[in-house]
Amino acid sequence: MSPVRLSELLRRDVAADPVITGVTADSRKVAPGALFVALPGNAADGRAFIPQALSQGAAAVLAPADTDAALAPVLVTSGDVRRAYAIAARSFYGAQPANCVAVTGTNGKTSVAAFCRQIWAGLGLSSASMGTLGVLKQTGNVNGALTGPGLTSPDAADAARMLAQLAEEGVTHLALEASSHGIDQRRIDGVTLKAAGFTNLTQDHLDYHGDMEAYRAAKLRLFETLLPRGRTAVLNADSDAYSSFASASIMSGLGVMGVGERGRDLALIGRVAVPEGQRLTIDAGGEIHEVLLPLAGAFQASNALVAAGLCIAAGEKPGRVLAALETIEGAQGRLERIAGGGHGEVYVDYAHTPDGLETVLNALRPHARGRLIVVFGAGGDRDRAKRPLMGEIAGRLADIAIVTDDNPRSEDPASIRKAVREGCPDAQEIGDRRQAIRHAIALMSDGDVVVIAGKGHEQGQIVGGVTHPFDDATEAAEALRIHA
């Protein structure tokens, strides 16, 4: 990216038109010549940092409409400052992969994005995914990480910069996760999308959105506002929310591709579990395809169909896309089997919502000749309403439920566990996650299945403001070694 005039970045006339050398909404990152975007946030008001930004050499400030003009010598305002920020960042960084698709939904986004990346790579295309696991690139079997895990949908300027870098490195196909926070905060408003996908809508994040309708509205914005007219919405037809997403998409001038058991376009007409995974029979517009998906669980078949739909909507041939599903691997920490279980099976999974937990326990039940044992908790500073619901599900669907800590953050860990146990009074409670995992694995006998839920790929336990290194997969392997 080369320096550009403020008017070019904002695509409008401005009174003073300095040359801009960077775009950021974080005063701490302002370098001389930058456009500082002052965002009123949830924890702070970016306008309080305008003096700092100016002292570090900001050439201009973009701020909400009601901002006092005297705050900066070059001040431009916008009625939707977050959207203006995303579009300015996009204009500044310029290039993007030619084929970008986005996926939203309460659960399954990381899995779908990882599947899209692998399908494209299997078709010989240079691809990437951007989301909870970071930015991962893939060409053939060669993988590389541009960044590690961070926000699911990155800050608008970070996203614009990484998209430009990917395009420069030859990546032509990108699947990105659109979280409800990210959509609401306009973090991906600068991305030009070829297609968008929807997996499901179930309870989460009510702390942020307030109620399910506001949460749904945030996700709908991907289809109503972000995906250009004439493009395709790939929708999981088996979700209870399908009809609201389908009608909003049609009203917004989009094509609808329904996928799943009730899907019209990619219809799952048969699914048989086999030791290597599952055999899927898929009707793609009248053509029948048999696919051996090397992953277990009905939910992974559902995610695979959304991913296939997105790749097809972005221009690939259905037959080739469906064939490419035969070589995909699960995303890190999503129903990841830990080696060394002997006669039992141990999995690490990222289920951290009621529906996620219910889905993963139902998926694993057929694997348990013996008991199904779950270790789980609920995050602090997140939706409190989901805690007893998750407890109830674990108590009902597992033979042994062990409640433990999962990123208590600023909250008292014992009170989070207490709220979870309101749903499962008979559960065991072991706050220390390492001890909880060791206890579960010590209990495991022939034919039992242990699932350690909630943290998946995460590498830390956040207590107070401190992140203590912690990895469920490593802990499970160590517990298996101790109890071998």
Ligand X SMILES: CC(=O)N[C@H]1[C@@H](OP(=O)(O)OP(=O)(O)OC[C@H]2O[C@@H](n3ccc(=O)[nH]c3=O)[C@H](O)[C@@H]2O)O[C@H](CO)[C@@H](O)[C@@H]1O[C@H](C)C(=O)N[C@@H](C)C(=O)N[C@H](CCC(=O)O)C(=O)O
Ligand Y SMILES: N[C@H](CCC[C@H](N)C(=O)O)C(=O)O
If one asks whether residue 303 binds Mg ion (CB under 5 A), the answer comes out as: no
User: What is the Cα 145 distance to its own chain's centre?
Assistant: 16
According to the annotation, is 111 in a ligand binding site?
A: yes
If one asks whether residue 198 binds ligand X (CB under 6 A), the answer comes out as: no
Residue 455 touches which member of ligand ATP, ligand Y, ligand X, none, C-beta under 5-8 Å by kind: ligand Y
Cα–Cα distance for residue pair 89/91, rounded to 1 Å: 5
456, with CB counted inside 10 A (0-12, 13-18, 19+), is buried
Give the residue ranges of DSSP H helices in 170-325. 180-184, 206-209, 212-221, 242-251, 298-313, 318-324
- Buried b / exposed e across 99-130, counting CB within 10 Å, b at 16+? bbbbbbbbbbbbbbbbbbbbbbbbbebbbbbb
The binding site for ligand ATP (CB under 6 A) comprises: 105, 107-111, 132, 152, 177, 179, 199-200, 299, 302-303, 334, 349-351, 355-356, 359-360, 456
If one asks whether residue 111 binds ligand X (CB under 6 A), the answer comes out as: no
* Cβ closest to ligand ATP, residue 61 vs residue 220: 220
According to the annotation, is 382 in a ligand binding site?
A: yes
If one asks whether residue 154 binds ligand Y (CB under 6 A), the answer comes out as: no
* Cβ closest to Mg ion, residue 110 vs residue 303: 110
Interface residue with ligand X among 181, 216, 289, 418 (CB under 6 A) is: 181
If one asks whether residue 132 binds Mg ion (CB under 5 A), the answer comes out as: yes
Main-chain phi, psi angles of 24, to 5 degrees: -155, 155
Cα–Cα distance for residue pair 343/346, rounded to 1 Å: 10
According to the annotation, is 353 in a ligand binding site?
A: no
Cα–Cα distance for residue pair 159/88, rounded to 1 Å: 12
Residue 403, SS3? strand
If one asks whether residue 109 binds Mg ion (CB under 5 A), the answer comes out as: yes
Site string for ligand Y, 381-400 (x = CB under 6 A): -x------------------
* Min separation Cβ 133 and ligand X, Å: 12
Where do we find the tokens 């403020």?
6
Stretch that binds ligand Y, among 81-89, 290-298, 452-460, 468-476 (CB under 6 A): 452-460
Interface residue with ligand X among 13, 15, 28, 466 (CB under 6 A) is: 28
Q: Which helix (H) or strand (E) holds 428?
A: strand 428-429
Cα–Cα distance for residue pair 456/53, rounded to 1 Å: 38
User: What is the Cα 87 distance to its own chain's centre?
Assistant: 22
The annotation places the binding site for meso-2,6-diaminopimelate at: 382, 406-409, 454, 458
| Residues binding ligand X (CB under 6 A) | 25-28, 39, 41-44, 46, 49, 151-153, 155, 179, 181-182
